[in-house]
Amino acid sequence: MLYSFAPMEGVTGYAFRLAHIKYFTPADRYYAPFYSPTREHVIPPRVLRELDPEHNRGVPLVPQLLCRSPEDFVWAARALAEMGYAELNFNLGCPSGTVAAKGKGSGFLAFPEELERFFERVFTEPGLPRISVKTRLGVESPEEFERLMGIYSRFPISELIVHARVRRDMYKLPARPEHFAGALVFPGPLSYNGDLFSAADVRDIQARYPQLGGVMLGRGAAANPGLFGLLRGGAGFGREALLGFHDEIYERCCSDFGSKGSAVLRMKELWGYLRCLFPGAEKELKRLGKTRRPEDYEQAAREILRYSPLDTGAAYEGGGCL
């Protein structure tokens, strides 16, 4: 069973990945937040920084592409191959309104004929990296999934990762694991994604679908970075690991952004998940969320990390940015 860390924009950048591997039991694979290539065929500096192999040494990283044009996809796939990547992931799962309105991400699922032509073009192109696909069950209804599976099963997709929601569900409604059964016709490796917040959640889905080759965790692993260790039978992590994890991410963000203030905003996005580890620290977390000056943030974060009761077995229970 392979354990993958889902891409989470604003959270799981390269600074997070490096620190996670250093201080916690790592995932088998980390998926980079999506890059959407444009017709200019130039990779922006921000994306280059995130995907630079030098910034991801020792990280089993899979870049993710989001686009609708097969020409743009092929160009970007070749560029990533030149950077040394042997696999990339095609995002058909993002439910964002601005993304879906352009027919990208899960919005592309509304155009199955065009999606099929897209794959016909891409998979006849020689010399590309392996291509995996992350999908939702459909746009409006899980009844769309059968048609989509008929398309996916026709092509040499290296792995199909199914997020068990439709686009309309966004992330607000519960996942629909019962409809994942429709994916079992896929002839290649298959992974499950959606509402896996604890080791018990993962074991339940493994028992329900023993054919699975892997699972992908996002919010659950961001809220408890020790979750992959728990899945492998390990004990909880120590407070010093969490301190080191936090400090390294913060220091890299300060350096990359050239501004401690910008780094604080990025760290608050992460704290929207890490707060699950500190039950009973609502007052301290609220104070951290209200900080504006970097020195105030640093003091508030240090007090929580060092002195607030820590639950290393905690699971994500919802929420977001502080």
pLDDT of residue 319: 64
First to last CA, the chain: 34
- Torsion, Cα of 193, 196, 197, 200 (10° steps): -160
Query: Which tens digits make up the pLDDT trace of 243-254?
Result: 999 999 999 999
Q: Is the pLDDT of residue 37 over 70?
A: yes
Q: Is the pLDDT of residue 180 over 60?
A: yes
pLDDT band at 236 (very low <50, low <70, confident <90, very high): confident
User: How far apart are the C-alpha atoms of 140 and 148, rounded to whole Å?
Assistant: 13
User: How far apart are the C-alpha atoms of 38 and 69, rounded to whole Å?
Assistant: 9
Quick check: 132 and 158 in contact, CB under 8 A? yes
* Least confident stretch, 140-144, 233-237, 305-309: 233-237
Which residues 6+ apart lie within 8 Å of 31 measured at CB? 4, 5, 6, 7, 61, 62, 64, 89, 134, 216
Helix (H, G, I), strand (E, B) or coil at 280: coil
- Determine how many CB atoms are found less than 10 A away from the CB of residue 233: 8
User: How far apart are the C-alpha atoms of 264 and 246, rounded to whole Å?
Assistant: 11
What is the crossing angle of helices 294-307 and 239-257, to 10°?
Answer: 160
pLDDT band at 318 (very low <50, low <70, confident <90, very high): confident
Q: What is the mean pLDDT of residues 71-98?
A: 97
pLDDT band at 21 (very low <50, low <70, confident <90, very high): very high
Higher pLDDT: 216 or 319? It is: 216
Which residues 6+ apart lie within 8 Å of 321 measured at CB? 268, 269, 271, 272
User: How far apart are the C-alpha atoms of 61 and 81, rounded to whole Å?
Assistant: 13
Would you say how long the chain is, in residues? 322
pLDDT of residue 321: 53
pLDDT of residue 99: 96
User: How far apart are the C-alpha atoms of 108 and 66, rounded to whole Å?
Assistant: 10
Q: What is the mean pLDDT of residues 136-163?
A: 98
Query: Which tens digits make up the pLDDT trace of 256-265?
Result: 999 999 999 9
- Determine how many CB atoms are found less than 10 A away from the CB of residue 316: 22
> Which structure tokens are listed for 5?
């860390």
- Torsion, Cα of 213, 219, 222, 228 (10° steps): -30
pLDDT of residue 146: 98
**Mean of pLDDT over the chain:** 96
Q: Is the pLDDT of residue 27 over 70?
A: yes
**CA 139 distance to own-chain centroid:** 20
Helix (H, G, I), strand (E, B) or coil at 18: helix
Closest C-alpha among 31, 61, 23, 92 to residue 217:
31
